[in-house]
């Protein structure tokens, strides 16, 4: 009886509202394709939370929970246990961001909350898993590091094959790669999740604003976003920690420094967006110009945006200007 009622309201939701069906179809594609068709898996998985967050924000919770249960069951039947764990991480992101949006949290609060929930639950799961399996946590982290290191070394060797003569600098990089990856791996993981959560949040925000009826989220403008002024003290403290002649303190300082630089990079990109909107050009042309500039001077653009985000605390690059840059 209960199963019949469950099928009844699911069919009613899908048939009565095509948006639910399209979002569910997109979610299944982003979740299941990387598991069974290993083509562009990482890229698709990064955007898997998007349709689920929209479902959780615009519709009752039972819709997204039923859909995630269906996807999890298919992955379990297909023997894709690793993809099932990835889906569990995706579910935590969906839960954290959707709850934050429903409560009207700001952009910064939403991103920080999603990261805290993801890494907090992940650390708890790792501790419980190592306890029941009777395997030290250090051993589990070592296995994960070995996999990351293997992929990194294979990539560098592939690049080295294109060199006609052996490059001494590239050889030195391959030799120093294990220690480098081990040192900055925590920062890379945090930065990767930070950008992934932000991209999904931006997609959800734009989708809800353009949907019918439009759903307004945080009223703050993305182009006006800025990090907390207190972050500069974290940046200075992490830089000072690099000078401490203690390996652990120096490694922690380096990781914190990289994360703060990533935050300032996002603030610099917000500055670029702020001034880009004042160009009297269509959105497509603006995106094309940005893509061309990034292809020509990619590393330089990253440095300039990060520096702009850092010095925005004192210079205020986004002084209100109501007319366009060109007449």
Tens digits of residue pLDDT in 252-304: 888 899 999 999 999 988 888 888 777 776 766 767 777 777 767 667 888 88
What value, to the nearest 5°, has the Cα angle with vertex 251 and ends 245 and 254?
A: 105
Is pLDDT of 310 > 70? yes
Q: What's the pLDDT at 326?
A: 45
Burial class (CB in 10 A: 0-12, 13-18, 19+), 322: exposed
Q: What's the pLDDT at 318?
A: 77
Give the total number of structural domains in the chain: 1
SS3 8: helix
Task: Specify the DSSP class assigned to residue 323.
Answer: S
Q: Is the dihedral of CA 10, 88, 189, 118 positive or negative?
A: positive
Tens digits of residue pLDDT in 91-103: 899 999 999 988 8
Is pLDDT of 41 > 70? no
Q: What are phi and psi of 228, to 5 degrees?
A: -65, 145
Q: Decide if 305 is inside a domain.
A: yes
- Rounded CA-CA distance 145/185 in Å is 8
Which comes out higher in pLDDT, residue 148 or 90? 90
* HSE-up of residue 265 (Cα within 13 Å, Cβ side): 16
Residue among 225, 216, 219 nearest 198 (CA): 225
Residue 55: CB partners within 8 Å, gap ≥ 6? 20, 23, 24, 27, 63, 64, 67
Q: What's the pLDDT at 327?
A: 45
Residue among 266, 269, 316 nearest 293 (CA): 269
Is pLDDT of 236 > 80? yes
**Which pTM value belongs to this model?**
0.79
Q: Decide if 34 is inside a domain.
A: no
Q: Decide if 206 is inside a domain.
A: no
Q: Are 98 and 57 in contact (CB under 8 A)?
A: yes
Q: What's the pLDDT at 116?
A: 92
- Rounded CA-CA distance 290/267 in Å is 16
Q: Decide if 12 is inside a domain.
A: no
Q: What's the pLDDT at 44?
A: 78
196-200, 206-210, 255-259 — which is least confidently predicted?
206-210
The mean per-residue pLDDT over the stretch 126-143 comes to 63
Q: At what angle do helices 49-58 and 81-102 cross, to 10 degrees?
A: 40
Q: Give the domain range for residue 238.
A: 223-327
The mean per-residue pLDDT over the stretch 22-28 comes to 89
Is pLDDT of 2 > 50? no
Is pLDDT of 9 > 50? no
Q: What's the pLDDT at 149?
A: 57
Is pLDDT of 134 > 80? no
Is pLDDT of 77 > 90? no
Q: Are 258 and 187 in contact (CB under 8 A)?
A: yes
What value, to the nearest 5°, has the Cα angle with vertex 309 and ends 243 and 114?
A: 85
Q: What's the pLDDT at 260?
A: 94
Q: Is the dihedral of CA 246, 236, 184, 120 positive or negative?
A: positive
Arithmetic mean of pLDDT over the chain? 77
Backbone dihedral region for residue 79 (phi beyond 0: left; psi -120 to 50: alpha; all else: beta)? left
Is pLDDT of 109 > 70? yes
Q: At what angle do helices 283-296 and 298-315 cross, to 10 degrees?
A: 110
End-to-end distance of the chain based on CA atoms, in angstroms? 68
Q: What's the pLDDT at 145?
A: 58
Q: Are 51 and 63 in contact (CB under 8 A)?
A: no
What does the radius of gyration of the chain's CA atoms come to, in whole angstroms?
23
């Amino acid at each position: 009886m209960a199963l019949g009622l469950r099928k009844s309201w699911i069919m009613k939701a899908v048939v009565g509202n095509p948006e639910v069906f399209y979002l569910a179809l997109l979610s299944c594609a982003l979740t299941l394709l990387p598991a069974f068709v290993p083509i562009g898996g990482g890229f698709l998985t990064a955007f898997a939370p998007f349709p689920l967050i929209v479902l959780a924000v615009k519709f009752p919770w039972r819709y997204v929970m039923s859909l995630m249960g269906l996807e999890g069951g298919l992955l379990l039947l297909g023997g894709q246990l690793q993809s099932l764990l990835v889906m569990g991480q995706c579910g935590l992101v969906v839960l954290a961001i959707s709850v934050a949006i429903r409560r009207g949290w700001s952009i910064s609060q939403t991103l920080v909350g999603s990261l805290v929930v993801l890494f907090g639950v992940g650390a708890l799961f790792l501790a419980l898993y190592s306890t029941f399996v009777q395997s030290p946590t250090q051993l589990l982290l070592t296995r994960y590091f070995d996999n990351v290191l293997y992929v990194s070394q294979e990539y560098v060797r592939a690049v080295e094959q294109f060199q006609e003569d052996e490059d001494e600098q590239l050889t030195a990089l391959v030799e120093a790669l294990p220690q480098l990856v081990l040192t900055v791996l925590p920062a890379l993981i945090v930065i990767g999740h930070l950008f992934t959560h932000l991209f999904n949040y931006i997609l959800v925000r734009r989708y809800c604003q353009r949907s019918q009826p439009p759903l307004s989220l945080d009223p703050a403008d993305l182009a006006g976003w800025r990090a907390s002024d207190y972050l500069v003290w974290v940046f200075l403290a992490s830089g000072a920690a690099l000078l401490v002649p203690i390996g652990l303190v120096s490694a922690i300082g380096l990781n914190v420094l990289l994360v703060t630089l990533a935050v300032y990079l996002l603030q610099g990109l917000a500055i670029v967006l702020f001034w880009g909107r004042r160009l009297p050009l269509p959105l497509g042309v603006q995106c094309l110009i940005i893509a061309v500039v990034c292809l020509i001077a990619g590393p330089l653009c990253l440095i300039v945006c990060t520096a702009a985000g850092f010095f925005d605390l004192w210079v205020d690059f986004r002084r209100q200007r109501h007319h366009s840059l060109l007449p």
